[in-house]
Structure 1
Amino acid sequence: MHVLCGSGSNCLSSLGQREKALAAIDEATDLYRTLAETRPDAFLPDLAMSLSNQSAYLSSLGQREKALAAIDEAVQIRRTLTETHPDAFLPDLASSLNNQSNCLSDLGQREEALAAIDEAVQIRRTLTETRPDAFLPNLASSLNNQSNCLSKLGQREKALAAIDEAVQIRRTLTETRPDAFLPNLASSLNNQSNCLSSLGQREEALAAIDEAVQIRRTLAETHPDTFLPNLARTRAVRGMILLQTGNAVEAAFSLLESLKVAVEAELEELIPPVAGLLREAYQHNPESVARVRLEITEHDLPGWVTDI
């Protein structure tokens, strides 16, 4: 019965029924906790897995403090398990540390988030030395998150070094398995571009974001529902970088295409920043931006752009 609860929560989550998924994983967690009280050797690993899933569902529902409490417990259990069986449980500990870092970052606990992801990177780097095929993708994922944590703390050079390594790993992985790893490469290139831009290396930033746009455009041609939102976000970054280089016209092309997808796909978090960047582009070059809008949409610019 307890196994069915866990798998049921995954099915519900895949159908977007997050509250029901959380209820199912809550039940599974309670069952595993009870079983672990009498047979810890057999059921503590299952309890840690359920806590990790519980944390993910809580996080997706915006219950950040509860998500952190769940993943903290999972980390504690898995850390204990690695003391006696490191080969078996170190990969799981690294996974939980990665998720713990995300939870801490969501709550603004940036130093703690960095400490957790640093440990995850260290573990996964060690694991790749003996089993690179199995653990290189996970190392790249943690390096990506490590770069984000470092950026939030203003450690820009270290953030760039981490994301450079993630890009290098993912570029290698795409050579043999492009279908599996091209989306991840685009994500890291997007982050690499942000790091380069923050350091004033705008030509390099533009090259990275152009490659990310190209990858996501190709992916969106065959799977638009999955990849168009990411393409819109990447085109927004490209527009921002172009604005920084003074190219308001090219920036307007990217921003208008990003805004169109953002509105159609109801990407509410993306619309305000893209709209703000479009206003900035209009300030730099009103006539050209208006012409770009007319060319793309056959409509004049709306008042919220021109009424500054």
Structure 2
Amino acid sequence: MRMNRYFPIFLLVFVCFAPHIAEASEQNIKATHGVAAGRDIKDSIITLGYTPEQVANLIRVAQAGDKKELQAARKEIEKLGKDLGVHQNAVKTFLMILGQNEIPQDKLLENLIDIAEQHKALLARKRAEASNSVVAAREQVLLEEGKLDELGKLFDEVQKADEKEIERIASNHYNRAKLFAMQFKPFDALLHYAKAYKYQPQNQDYSFAYATALVIQKQYDDAESVFVQSLKQLRAEGDSKDSHNDPEIARRLNTLGVLYKETQRFADAEKAYLEALNIYSRLALTDSIRFDSEVAMIKINLGGLYQVTQRQENAENTYKEALETYRKLAILSPIRYEPDVVRILNNLGTLYKDTHRLEESEKMYQEALIIYRKSSKANPSITEPNISALLNNLGALYKGTLRFEEAERAYREALNIDRKLAKDNPSVFLPDVAMRLNNLGVLYKDIKRWEDSENAYQESLTIRRQLANSSPAANLPDVGSTLINLGVLWKDTHRPDEAEKAFQEALGIFRKFAKTSSSAYCLDSA
């Protein structure tokens, strides 16, 4: 579980980008479920009788490829295949996929089950097509046996051969995207989701997957257009009071709320969240097991919206309602719901800090930190990123109360954690390393440690430029914010030429983004 970029901190700079000049003082807690835009609803936790250690060992065996070990594990793999409802060869492939990605040990089985369910859904599609197509029959065999790479190549060949068959082309692109998603390749998946939607925009599976991928990549204007059309279609299919489409409508409204909040359309965000909340609350009356967590999820999002729009009392009350629900759920399933408890404690800590209730703020952060430190030895890959984010927030609190030595210690500990995590998973954790360095740069500037401040900013800028090379939409705004911070530092230390150069480059970045997403980057044309 990560602190949820699954809801990134959006920093804007200069005039309307002023928050970018300051540190990224608070970081949201991320969860593997909960407020993530458009996530699927899971009814209950499934274990199938396997421990995380057993699954991890099977992954090790599959990756090692030792014939003796594979033979010894054959019966266990066969049983796992039967439990998952898939071929044992497919199980081996799934284990290899999990082993090639950074998956926390206690989430291995959950991800394995998820891949198997995606596999079975895709297989059902292939079986339906197999009776009318020799190629589809071959695809079915490859999928059943877990030969995903070979199947992917066949999908690619079919795409070239079937350009005139719109329905099949769309289905094939969607299937290809699902394969990339199963293999943790989101950019490749986005490309094929876009093509599936292009061919069949009325298909709800295609539109939702495509729009959600666009939100994650911060392509908000395109995402909104897709979601609005999808909602229009779902609403037209029946009366919302009785429609079986209600959960899907609520899911889209939640994600639209996230989109509107990030693009500062706060009234639209509130309207979307409240409608989603009404739907989930009504559904929870008859199915609380499935929908109580969804109600709490929307309340977290609403609380965040109220907090951003300075309705602090509403935010506090909404967070507390969600906290009460998640505390109850965490008693039954701590692994699944404690992250949500911590996330709300973090949000309350930030709220209390912003309203100058500093003792209460520190209490919230410390309680959240204690929960994670307690479980850090058992699940370091899950807890360490969240410990880092909480330390970041404590550092901001200490800095705001002029406890500079404590602030530096908190920021430094957070930075050390993220540097270690980034060695194994740079694409995920390097952005956090850059954020910690930026915050240290702000701290050092405030206490006039000019050289330390410049060094921290420069390292942060180097990392953010590197990240922007592969994902400009997600990372160029952060390059701009760091350039602004450096420009201010150089201006204050009487280096006007360097300051002007930094400001001009930052201005160019934000002007570029203002053209494609004017609501998110409120820069007036000069």
After superposition, residues 1-308 of structure 1 pair within 5 angstroms as 3-13=247-257, 15-16=259-260, 19-30=267-278, 32-33=280-281, 44-59=292-307, 63-82=311-330, 86-265=334-513
**Secondary structure class of the residue paired with 1:125:** helix
Q: Deviations over 1:239-269 (max 9, x none)?
A: 2333444434333332332344345545999
- Percent identity over the alignment is 27
1:203, distance to aligned residue in structure 2 (A): 1.8
Measured against aligned partners, the alpha-carbon deviations of 1:262-282 in whole angstroms (never above 9, x if no partner) come to 45545999999xxxxxxxxxx
Equivalent residues of 1:5, 1:25 under 8 A apart: no
Q: 1: distance between equivalents of 2:467 and 2:416?
A: 20
Relative contact order, higher structure (CA 8 A, sep 6+): 2
- In structure 2, distance between residues paired with 1:234 and 1:111: 31
The CA deviation string for residues 41-69 of structure 1, in whole angstroms up to 9 with x for no partner, is 76544432231122234445554442332
Q: How many residues align?
A: 273
Please give the secondary structure, in 2, of the residue aligned with 1:129.
Answer: coil
- Please report the RMSD computed on the Cα atoms of aligned residues, expressed in angstroms: 3.4
Gaps of 5+ in 2: 1-243
5+ residue gaps, structure 1, are 273-308
How far did 1:137 drift?
1.6
Is 232-241 or 160-169 further displaced after alignment? 232-241
Aligned equivalents of 1:77 and 1:159: distance in 2?
Answer: 33
Shift of 1:164: 0.8
Under a length normalisation based on structure 2, what TM-score does the superposition of the two structures give?
0.46
Shift of 1:156: 1.4
CA shift at 1:204, angstroms?
Answer: 1.9
Query: Could you tell me whether the CA contact under 8 Å between 1:9 and 1:22 is conserved in 2?
Result: no
Distance 2:482 2:392 in 1: 16
TM-score (normalizing by structure 1): 0.74
Which has the larger share of helix?
1
Residues 98 and 83 from structure 1, CA distance in 2 versus in 1: closer, same or farther, beyond 3 angstroms?
A: same
Shift of 1:97: 1.0
Question: Residues 156 and 109 of structure 1: is their aligned pair in 2 closer, same or farther, counting only changes over 3 Å?
Answer: same
Shift of 1:216: 1.4
Q: Matched residues in 2 for 1:186 and 1:53: separation?
A: 26
- State the alpha-carbon separation in 2 of the partners of residues 14 and 51 from structure 1: 12
- The residue type paired with residue 93 of structure 1 is V
The change in CA–CA distance for 1:49 and 1:194 in structure 2 (over 3 A counts) is: same
Question: Higher mean Cα deviation, 253-262 or 213-222?
Answer: 253-262
Aligned 8 A contact 1:186 1:212 in 2: yes
Q: 1:270 to 1:210 in 2, by over 3 A?
A: farther
Mean CA deviation greater in 154-163 or 263-272: 263-272
- Structure number, greater radius of gyration: 2
